[in-house]
Amino acid sequence: MKKKLHFFIFVLFVGFAISAQTTHNLDWFAGIGTNVDLNISQGDTVIWTWTSPSHTVESTEESTESFDSGFFEAEGTTFSHTFNLEGVNPYFCGIHGASSMSGTITVAALSVTTFDGLTSFSIVPNPGQIEMNISFSQPISNATVEVLDVLGKRIFQKSLHEEHRVSVDTSRWSRGIYMVRISNSELTQTKRFVKH
């Protein structure tokens, strides 16, 4: 009975995790450099934590969304922003400058309705543990499938050529939520995969 209860709680938790927004945490400190980039989904929140004193987090003029933390001196201070618009959001520290502390938050839509006649793709099993199977309703070509971890690091990529299905070995991946993105020269479609 306890095993069934634990499994039920786990399934509820995973279901909530799939539908809920994701929070991304970034340490923000002098000397971090210019590679503080994330690929996230619409509705996700980024939290910057000052691990050294005296910084700001400011969007640039080219940013899709506007955000500004204001000046915070104390180490341990946090600033958060929820990204609701698809697009690219360059940002920097106004105290140390873009050449010393900067990055880009790229926000992807969770789905696109059409894809050269392809209306959707499915991921089975999801959640999964050993393997992830990505299936298409019709053969897809001239496109790419890639999987990104929660920090936006690409951990899998494959070009698609008239394929109905792609199988990916997930046995060595850490537990967590991953973004599966299918894209061609015009459109992108993204779904979440949970590794347990």
* Distance between CA atoms of residues 180 and 150, nearest Å: 11
Q: List per-residue pLDDT tens for the chain, 196 residues long.
A: 555 544 444 444 444 444 446 888 899 999 898 778 888 888 889 999 999 999 999 999 999 999 999 999 999 999 999 998 888 999 999 999 988 999 999 888 754 434 444 446 888 998 889 999 998 877 787 888 999 987 788 999 999 888 888 999 999 999 888 989 888 777 778 888 888 8
Q: Which pLDDT score is estimated for 187?
A: 75
Cα-based angle 177, 147, 34 (whole degrees, multiple of 5): 90
Q: How much is the pLDDT for 147?
A: 94
Cα 79 to Cα 26, 63, 84, 112, 186: the distances in Å are 10, 17, 16, 31, 34
- The CB density around residue 122, as the number of other CB atoms within 10 Å, is 12
DSSP strand pairing (23-28 vs 121-124): unpaired
Could you tell me the domains of the chain?
Answer: 22-108 (2.60.40.420), 121-195 (2.60.40.3080)
DSSP letter string, 102-113: EEEEEEE-S--S
In this prediction, residue 152 carries a pLDDT of 81
pLDDT of residue 153: 87
Tokens 């990104």, residue located: 148
